[in-house]
Amino acid sequence: MAKELELKYGCNPNQKPSRLFMEHGELPVKVLNGRPGYINFMDALNSWQLVKELKEATGLASAASFKHVSPAGAAVGLPLNETDRKIYFVDEENLSPLACAYARARGADRMSSYGDWAALSDICDEDTARLIKKEVSDGVIAPGYTPEALALLKEKKKGMYNVVEIDPNYVPDPIERKQVFGVTFEQGRNNVKIDDSLFTNIVTENHDLPENAVRDLKIALIALKYTQSNSVAYAKNGQVIGVGAGQQSRVHCVRLAGNKADNWWLRQNPKVLALPFKQGIRRADRDNTIDVYISDEYEDVLREGTWQNFFETRPEPLSKQEKLDWLAKETGVSLGSDAFFPFGDNIERAHKSGVSYIAEPGGSIRDDNVIETCNRYGMTMVFNGVRLFHH
């Protein structure tokens, strides 16, 4: 391990010089391939913390897909069913748990994950490397790589794909610092643990909180711990399905993340699964086309005739009523928030995306209104007493 790494530039090409260094000791990371930049390492170090904590909290292999220092997706390694493989564009069956975790993390919001940084909780195996190689991605961080996996990743991006290895035993100093406008900020690291103890204070009439909901709430909250605030995360089936990050209004976070969760569910509609794509269409074009198909913009595509660029035959649109009927089938979604909900309008929007379980700190002067709104829809809500702002 080196004491410092010279970087090409900082956040932007004009921000030079740029480096990564340790004041004491050696860096806990080693570059095995490529030349990661400033933002790459910001994504790498934040995403590694997320997957490391997710593995510790669940005991399952974990992965994250990061863009601009917030997760587009995060997941644990539950097996993929047939529908999962279709919506995540995974042809292989019997994948390793780590590969399943990455497929879920990458597939939650494929448009946002375009050009992602991947993080893996375990040694990267050949199954996982093969999935990453297919995607447009900037780099990956993991505690190690099998020889077969490393060989595959080194072939990516004409040999320039960024591969970073991190020491899994590295423990940072308890005090962290950063500078803004030449002024140094200092604070204790956010070492709060997301564990079962945070899910005991159920404040709603409905006290039903099954194990799978606790698991998904853990995933949501750990993801939020490394998401730019304000933020909320929707989770289901062992993965984040929608993240709303960096919004000034919490209800806008809920809407943004809810729209992403809705798209994740709409992609599983039989009409979407049966779209007659032309042979050879690029993965990114396929993602963009699906997004257009499930939006109101598809009517314009039909009028303009541009559907012929992507489909063998003309797909009939999903009507507004078909979308509403399909979305109404979505239930059992978990929602985590990095701070309290100030009004019940957040819960109203969450209900539209099938949310059944909520974890938030509590402490608003309108907690009674928020709880009352949850009771109206039969939701289970936990006050965990922990704020998870991340800036």
> 68 — alpha (psi -120 to 50), left (phi > 0) or beta?
left
DSSP letter for each residue of 83-105: HHHHHTT---SS--HHHHHHHHH
Catalytic residue, candidates 33, 46, 162, 230? 230
What DSSP designation does 228 have?
Answer: P
Closest CA to 237 of 217, 208, 209, 262: 217
Candidates 46, 52, 55, 67; catalytic one:
67
For residue 95, CA distances in Å to 46, 54, 78, 125 come to 26, 20, 10, 10
Q: Indicate if 12 belongs to the active site.
A: no
55 among known catalytic residues: no
The DSSP element (H or E) to which 316 belongs, if any, is none
CA neighbor of 108 nearest in space, from 275, 216, 236:
236
Give the bridge partners for 358, in sequence order: 335, 381
Does 24 qualify as catalytic in the annotation?
no
Helix axes 38-58, 211-225, angle to 10 degrees: 160
Q: Which of 24, 207, 320, 391 is catalytic?
A: 391
**Which residue type sits at 70?**
S
334 CB-near residues (< 8 Å, 6+ apart)? 213, 216, 217, 219, 220, 234, 235, 236, 355, 356, 357, 358, 359
Residue 190 designated active-site: no
- The catalytic position among 68, 157, 252, 271 is 68
Amino acid at 375: N
3-state DSSP assignment of residue 138: strand
* Positions marked catalytic: 67-68, 230, 391
